[in-house]
Amino acid sequence: MTIANAGKVWFVGAGPGDPELITVKGRRLLSEAGAVLYAGSLVDRAATLYAPPGCAIRDSKDMTLEDMTAWLIGQAAVHGTVVRLQTGDPGLYGALIELARPLTAADIEWAVVPGVSSAMASMAAAGESLTLPEVTQSVIFTRVEGRTPMPDGEDLASLAAHRTTLCIFLSITLMHKVETALRAAGWPEDAPMLVVHKASWPGEEKIIRGTLADIKARCRAAGVASQAMIVASPTLGALHWETLARSKLYDPTFTHRFRKASA
């Protein structure tokens, strides 16, 4: 099916929850939209407040993939700008390609506006860094296997063996699997762990710190069983370390094209 003179569908990352963390471009597109399809189970409805009066606004939490694509195609037939508002960044666990394929088949133009991931928002909320010189320079975004299987070689134990920062999405109800995988990879019982529930959500954010030995119990005590980011990282707690390797970029002994060494 091809729709003549169809509008453009924008997949906009709404960010992690705070409506002020949507990008300037995302907010502008919402203000111009004739129709907005938002993920009501995950995106704070306040984000849709940027839409103009008369905009067709639909919550997708009770819709199938086919329902959503049909709605987007139908709205693109009558509006120049249609927004699919997704939590975090559309490219992370967002069914982006599944939604975009029917649009491409219908010759409807689409584009993506990236958003702030809950991984970044969680570390920001806790005042932590994803990377540190001489500690880890790599970050792995992953999840544990639930109803969605993991591809070969991507089980958490294999990834955890790298001892880098692990941002574990969609897995708070499977914390026992997270613990088992980290132990299988050799992480010690006192390895620091961080869980952030509803990162950046005004008045709802919870930050839980613990170790591999007790993080599950701490989450249970805090009543956190959904919408949480799990972080396991050798960088956690670095603010209070006695010593810390300096970044070469800002070291006075380091010369680069913008500055000569001063020491």
Return the pLDDT at 263: 65
pLDDT beneath 70: ranges in the chain: 1-5, 248, 250-251, 253-259, 261, 263
Return the pLDDT at 1: 59
For 184-228, what is each residue's pLDDT tens digit?
999 999 999 999 999 999 999 999 999 999 999 999 999 999 999
Return the pLDDT at 258: 66
Return the pLDDT at 43: 82
Return the pLDDT at 162: 97
State the Cα–Cα distance between residues 48 and 103, nearest whole angstrom.
23
* Domain spanning 118-237: CATH 3.30.950.10: yes
Return the pLDDT at 4: 59
CATH 3.30.950.10 domain position(s) in the chain? 118-237
- Residue 207: CB partners within 8 Å, gap ≥ 6? 125, 126, 194, 195, 196, 197
Return the pLDDT at 84: 97
State the Cα–Cα distance between residues 171 and 227, nearest whole angstrom.
9
CATH 3.40.1010.10 domain position(s) in the chain? 8-113
| Global confidence as pTM | 0.91
State the Cα–Cα distance between residues 159 and 154, nearest whole angstrom.
6
User: Do the strands 139-143 and 206-211 form a parallel or antiparallel pair, or are they unpaired?
Assistant: unpaired
Token pair 């606004």 is found at 57
- For the structural domain made of 8-113, what CATH number should be given? 3.40.1010.10
For 109-135, what is each residue's pLDDT tens digit?
999 999 999 999 999 999 999 999 999
